[in-house]
Amino acid sequence: MNMKPKKIPMRMCLGCSEMKPKKELLRVVKSPEGEISLDFVGKKNGRGAYICRSTECYEKARKSRRFEKTFSCKIEESVYEVMADELRSETENS
């Protein structure tokens, strides 16, 4: 029999610090140019971090500056606002 259970890749949410299947999480990526953005398809180039698809976890990670720590860079408020808007419309539509 060749029915090994598939290993599910797990990642930690920067908001609630829970380990969850990568697929359920939203990727936040720092591009090689140093730009921070949300990666809804999971295909963007760069260093990634993960959060739950919820504004709650996003705000937690934002307030505790965990994105900055993870990417070791400063993130402008305007960048946070853009990501918050994107996340809001994403969670409303699904």
Chain contacts with Zn ion (rule: CB under 5 A): 13, 15-16, 52, 57
Planar angle of CA 81, 87, 90, nearest 5 degrees:
145
Question: Residue 29 or 51: which CB sits closer to Zn ion?
Answer: 51
Q: Within 10 Å of residue 47's Cβ, how many Cβ atoms?
A: 13
CB of 53 to Zn ion, least distance (A): 9
Question: Residue 37 or 54: which CB sits closer to Zn ion?
Answer: 54
CB of 33 to Zn ion, least distance (A): 27
Q: Residue with structure tokens 């999480």? A: 25
